[in-house]
Chains A and B, each alone.
Chain A
Amino acid sequence: MTSSNLTEQIISAAKNEGRTLLTEVESKNLLMAEGITVTDAHLATDADEAAAAAEKVGFPTVMKIISPDIAHKSDVGGVVVGLADADAVRTGYEEMLRTVRESAPDARIDGVSIQTMAEPGIEVIVGSTTDPQFGPVMMFGLGGVFVEVLKDVSFRIVPLASRDASQMIREIDALPILEGVRGQAGADLGALEQLLLAVSELIERRPEIAELDLNPVFAYPDGAIAVDARVVLHEE
């Protein structure tokens, strides 16, 4: 299947179900098909499937709940990291479903996503949304839990030129963190620019996408990878 067909299939599947919000697995499959580096995520609907998926992606493994009703997965115990082997994944699956059902009894649960555990890096957020006056726009900022409070983010209108991508990264206050503080390695700013440009191109190519979050993206001294992703489609 070509990447473009895969994207269309994911989009039309969601539309047929009357959904605008793609699951993490759908979002990541779409992004991967469109050439954006994300951690490989597989849907599993029972403990054995979860273990099998984990064997495929390799250990240690990350498991996250998939539910259209849960926005903040970690708040309800819906994220577990560092599962070392297939047994840990099986046990982890049962525990996660139990915990999530206790915390969010009304939430529909579609299963879990099983993915590689990425090496921690500097967390940044890359996103896109649709502005009522200017149409599709891109956002960049330092990721993590403080992004909503500090609002240290920059915006540009799609499509981005490389100068725009470069400036978006350099105009946030937290730039010194990306450049590396106290002897710590900085982030690969070139890779982040490429990521911004790739997402901008995706948004141009796929006008069905209304909102997109890559949050967090782990930025390394060499390269960057989106660890979580969320894609929202326009209402028809």
Chain B
Amino acid sequence: MKIDNERLHRALNPRSVVVVGDKGPQYMWLTNMENFTGELYSVQVDPNEIPGIEEKQIPNFSSVAEVPGDVDLVICAVPRQVTPIIVGQAIEKKVGGISMFTSGFAETGEPEAIELQEKIVSACLEDGMPLVGPNCMGVYNRELGVKFNAQQEQGAGSDVGVISQSGTHGIGISLGAQRLGIKVGRTISIGNAVVCNESDYLEYLIDDPASPIVVMYLEGVKEGRRFFEKLKELAAKKPTVIWRGGGTDAGARAAHSHTASLATDTAVWDGMIRQAGAIPTESLEDTLDVLTTLVHSPPCSGKGAALVAMTGGQSVAITDQFQRAGFDVPELTQDSYDVLGEFFVTIGGSYRNPFDAASTIRSETENLEKILEVLAEDDNIDAGVAIELTTAGFDKDPERLDAQLSLLAEYREKTNQPVVAMMPEGGAVSGQAEVVVSARARVSELGFPVYPSFRRGAEALARSQSYWHWRGVPSS
């Protein structure tokens, strides 16, 4: 029986959750779910564990069948030998779906473990039961407060939906994105993905309002063709970032031909992702970098960037990185130069683009406003502004940064072009390490992508712009 999308929807957006087999002293699952907006129940038969659950005032039962009302999601954390019993109970209870934290199945390579996995898989398939996992962290739903990590945020709104084959990376992407001011609407840690596979989740996200952008961490897929087709459909609708891990270059299959010997796993995946129109990344930083720009920027595919640095040396460095990433750093129009010439401090400064602007911007925020007004009117600039922001002194005078950001927000609003904030490590205008960190956090909080190096900012913007170019967003 095919897995019913309606049931998967119930499992991923549950109104009632049963945690089976949680254990003290932490009671990790029940604790993570403390602020769950729906009904929370426990199933535990171990007399040593029951008092701790009762102390948390969570109703406990001895089987799933005894839980009152409809159950949308069973979180299964029992020892692996017990899993077939719990799956049986869940089927009988007609629950929405199961998220199985329990590990020790096919991933061990042991014949008994593989057999056990086959047993629960065939029971689920026969019933049409969506099984998330096994060997996974399962389901995070921001709005409903379904969590698999205590630090995951709760509340309305979503910028991105995440699918991860690795539990660690599922947590890493969720928490990392949160810290960058991004609302992660849902994360699904899919584990062995033996009943619902990668393509099933991807298909679900195509129409999922909680996933306006999609990030996936994947190592391999079971139905390659279907995955490709679904990915194409998804990427045509929503920005989709694929971080592929575990790619090996051990190609050399039947090496009758040059093509076969060159068709390494990594090379084919890279081509597949590009062909589908998704954004390939290679690491957690890469992934979060491009995600931040996608979330905090209007769709834009321009190539002409305005670069504002605070010193001469940094204006050269930022230009190198943007050019390397494929941007143009065009001269401005004569009209722009005429206006800039009226107020710009050119002793120890320059406004040709790149800008060397410390002497001009340091004195008063008003000058930044004038620069941004000029840039907004200049037709040569269609890829937005990347600006190095001064972090020294942020601890003593945080309002100054806020004032600059509010001008940058106005610019972004008016031009529909991105603004990328740069707070590089070790720049002449940066303060102590902890000041830089808190200044960056403020920039994230106010809804801007901010990067610790020009290179990372330039690459993130380039990836995002080329996605929008693929989608047919005109350059200006």
Contacts and interface: CB of A to CB of B under 8 A. Distances in A.
A137 B263 contact: yes
The size bracket of the interface on B is 20 to 34
B259 to A, nearest CB: 3
B256 A21 contact: yes
Given A133-B265, A157-B228, 19 more contacts: A127-B257, A127-B258, A127-B262, A129-B259, A129-B260, A134-B225, A134-B228, A147-B258, A155-B272, A157-B271, A164-B275, A167-B274, A167-B275, A210-B254, A211-B259, A213-B258, A213-B259, A230-B256, A232-B256
Interface in B253-302: 253-254, 256-263, 265, 267-268, 270-272, 274-275
Best-buried of A131, A156, A168, A210 by chain B (most CB within 10 Å): A131
A164 B275 CA distance: 6
Interface of B: 220-221, 224-225, 228, 253-254, 256-263, 265, 267-268, 270-272, 274-275
A112 to B, nearest CB: 21
Nearest to A154: B271
A164 B271 CA distance: 9
11 contacts: A20-B256, A127-B258, A131-B263, A134-B272, A137-B268, A155-B272, A157-B228, A167-B274, A168-B271, A211-B257, A212-B257
A135 interface: yes
Contacts of B260: 129, 211, 232
Contact of B262 (A21, A132, A151, A232): A151
Contact of B225 (A135, A156, A210): A135
Contacts of A21: 256
A147 B258 CA distance: 9
B272 A215 contact: no
Interface in A206-236: 210-213, 215, 230, 232
A131 B268 contact: yes
Contacts of A168: 271
A21 B256 CA distance: 8
A139 B253 CA distance: 15
Contacts of A213: 257-259
A7 interface: no
Contacts of A232: 254, 256-257, 260
Interface string A122-166: 000101110111110101010000011001011111000000100
Majority-rule SS of B interface residues: helix
A153 B263 CA distance: 9
A135 B224 CA distance: 8
Contact of B268 (A127, A151, A155, A212): A155
A76 to B, nearest CB: 17
Given A155-B270, A164-B275, A171-B274, A134 B259 contact: no
A230 B225 CA distance: 26
B263 A129 contact: yes
Contacts of A132: 253
Interchain residue pairs A-B with the least CB separation, the first 5: A127-B259, A155-B271, A133-B224, A134-B224, A211-B257
Contacts of B256: 20-21, 71, 211, 230, 232
B70 to A, nearest CB: 38
Contacts of B259: 125, 127-129, 139, 211-213
Given A133-B221, A157-B228, A171-B274, A151 B267 contact: yes
Contacts of A230: 256-257
Contact of B267 (A127, A148, A153, A211): A153
A135 B223 CA distance: 10
A148 B271 contact: no
Contacts of A167: 274-275
Nearest to B259: A127
A212 B228 CA distance: 22
Interface string A38-69: 00000000000000000000000000000000
Contacts of B272: 134, 137, 155-157
A219 to B, nearest CB: 17
A96 B257 CA distance: 24
A164 B272 CA distance: 10
A182 B274 CA distance: 31
Contacts of B271: 137, 154-157, 168
Contacts of B270: 155
B228 A129 contact: no
Nearest to B261: A148
Contacts of B261: 148
A131 B267 CA distance: 11
Interface in A187-211: 210-211
B41 to A, nearest CB: 40
A210 to B, nearest CB: 8
Given A151-B267, A157-B272, A157-B275, A139 B262 contact: yes
B388 to A, nearest CB: 31
Best-buried of B228, B262, B271 by chain A (most CB within 10 Å): B271
Contacts of A151: 262, 267
Contacts of A127: 257-259, 262
Contacts of A133: 220-221, 224, 265, 268
A148 B271 CA distance: 18
Nearest to A134: B224
A73 to B, nearest CB: 13
Nearest to A164: B275
Contacts of B254: 210-211, 232
Best-buried of B253, B257, B265 by chain A (most CB within 10 Å): B257
A154 to B, nearest CB: 6
